[in-house]
Amino acid sequence: MIKELSIQPTCGLHGELSVPGDKSISHRGLILGAISQGTTTLHHFLPAADCLSTLTALQQLGVPIERTGTTVMIRGRGLRGLTQPQQALDMGNAGTATRLLAGLLAGQPFETTLVGDASLSQRPMERVRQPLQAMGAQLQLTGGHLPMLITGRTLHGSCTEMQVASAQVKSALILAALQADRPSTIVEKLPTRDHTERLLRLFGGQIETAADHRTITVHPQPNLIGQSLTIPGDFSSAAFFMTAATIIPNSHVRLTHVGLNSTRTGFLSILQRMGGRVTVDRKLGAGEPVGTLDVRFAQLHPVQVTASEIPAVIDELPLVALLAATADGISTISGAAELRVKETDRIATIVTELQKLGVQITARPDGFVIDGRQSWQQPTEPLASHGDHRIGMTMAISALRVGGPTELVDAEAVNISYPTFFEDLARLNQEV
């Protein structure tokens, strides 16, 4: 992968694309396969750097896993069959893998150390340590961050009121609760993505979500059974092409087999509210809803996004900023302070990058304000990913809409979640 790319403007994206498998579900499929009895086969697995960090970590925990392209075969070891790794587990850039494995390893009868790259080593881990400790876990952090030393303990069922709306923390608690001595209850601050709950049911676990969509009861010590499953396309990856097709005149793309779990599709509702031209053809999928999205160019109107909507659009907020930068008015995104603790401070990085295009965007502590009425300009310095996959792809999409060729530095950050991003973009750019 080239470190610096020159991106040419386009006069429209066209054609059909099936985006790679969902990152969140790929991580969870590996972990649940590892702690089940028998073989799990994952089809349409996402072979991106983040998911490969989880795969390698599980191999180091004694789980035989074979991968051929996007198909993964896991020989499950059961809930009590993992073994102590020979060395620290390197989680790379993967926040999801780190927090989920913290919950799993907190109840295993051995010690594990988790380490990560420079970005991951700055991300907050107290949010998992504190509620896991209330279950009897022993996690030692380094100033609230990685490296994390986990000393496995017997865990006690508990009732946790979550302090942050985070599916990673919720999933860590669920994985810990599976190993506890009695049932556990988790109360979410706001409902977040529910892939762990859905998959756990599929593997034979007993987990209930109350009618408020926030209260979850986990029954411990299940006998999980290996499954064969096809992972839907990642809605978060599809969102880059939904954005591109919407903001580049003359575009029309179809995205097939995309995961449409409503805890993930806040971006779709926001785009439709802004006047986006999207039609959705929903299919009945096993475990997770999927469907086809048909998206065309549209002139957008401004939007107001507030706290209750944030969890379902958390990873797509840089794209909401990009949409808003083409709308005929002022948009405000608030209640999104979590953006400050992602792979980069995404409020700071998106503001810096969009300002290079002449976009009128102002940072707020918990979001941003964007006036889309100003026309964009050719940037005088290269656009940058800041080492953040989603910022890199967002800026690559924006570069398609400026007047001339635009440089993008550290473009290889896309490997974290979407290694074939530039190939897929080139395909839609050629089809007429």
Contacting residues toward ligand S3P, per CB under 6 A: 24, 96, 166-168, 171, 193, 314-315, 338
Using the minimum distance from each CB to ligand S3P, give the nearer residue, 192 or 251: 192
Q: Establish whether 296 is an annotated binding residue.
A: no
Phi, psi for residue 278 in degrees, rounded to 5: -130, 130
Phi, psi for residue 218 in degrees, rounded to 5: -115, 125
CA distance 10 to 346: 26
Q: What is the nearest approach in angstroms of ligand S3P to the Cβ of residue 20?
A: 15
Q: What is the nearest approach in angstroms of ligand S3P to the Cβ of residue 168?
A: 3
Q: Establish whether 346 is an annotated binding residue.
A: yes
Q: What is the nearest approach in angstroms of ligand S3P to the Cβ of residue 171?
A: 6
Q: What is the nearest approach in angstroms of ligand S3P to the Cβ of residue 23?
A: 7
Q: Establish whether 334 is an annotated binding residue.
A: no
Using the minimum distance from each CB to ligand S3P, give the nearer residue, 188 or 353: 188
Using the minimum distance from each CB to ligand S3P, give the nearer residue, 96 or 265: 96
The radius of gyration of the chain from alpha carbons, rounded to an integer in Å, stands at 21
Q: Establish whether 28 is an annotated binding residue.
A: yes
Q: What is the nearest approach in angstroms of ligand S3P to the Cβ of residue 370?
A: 21
Q: What is the dihedral of CA 393, 395, 396, 397, to 10 degrees?
A: 90
Within 10 A of 240 (CB to CB), how many other CB atoms are there? 26
Quick check: helix, strand or coil at residue 252?
strand
Using the minimum distance from each CB to ligand S3P, give the nearer residue, 166 or 246: 166
Q: What is the nearest approach in angstroms of ligand S3P to the Cβ of residue 28?
A: 7
CA distance 242 to 259: 14
Using the minimum distance from each CB to ligand S3P, give the nearer residue, 254 or 342: 342
Using the minimum distance from each CB to ligand S3P, give the nearer residue, 7 or 175: 175
Residues 401 and 9 sit within 8 Å (Cβ to Cβ): yes
Q: Establish whether 23 is an annotated binding residue.
A: yes
CA distance 317 to 322: 9
Q: Establish whether 184 is an annotated binding residue.
A: no
Q: Establish whether 345 is an annotated binding residue.
A: no
Q: Which two tokens stand for residue 87?
A: 């060395």
Catalytically annotated residues: 315
Phi, psi for residue 424 in degrees, rounded to 5: -65, -40
Task: Write the CA distances from 402 to 3, 243, 411, 415, integer angstroms.
Answer: 21, 15, 18, 24
User: Residue 97, exposed/middle/buried by CB under 10 A (0-12, 13-18, 19+)?
Assistant: buried
User: Residue 375, exposed/middle/buried by CB under 10 A (0-12, 13-18, 19+)?
Assistant: exposed
User: Residues at the annotated binding site?
Assistant: 23-24, 28, 95, 123, 166, 168, 315, 342, 346, 390
User: Residues at the annotated binding site for phosphoenolpyruvate?
Assistant: 23, 95, 123, 168, 346, 390
User: Residues at the annotated binding site for 3-phosphoshikimate?
Assistant: 23-24, 28, 166, 168, 315, 342
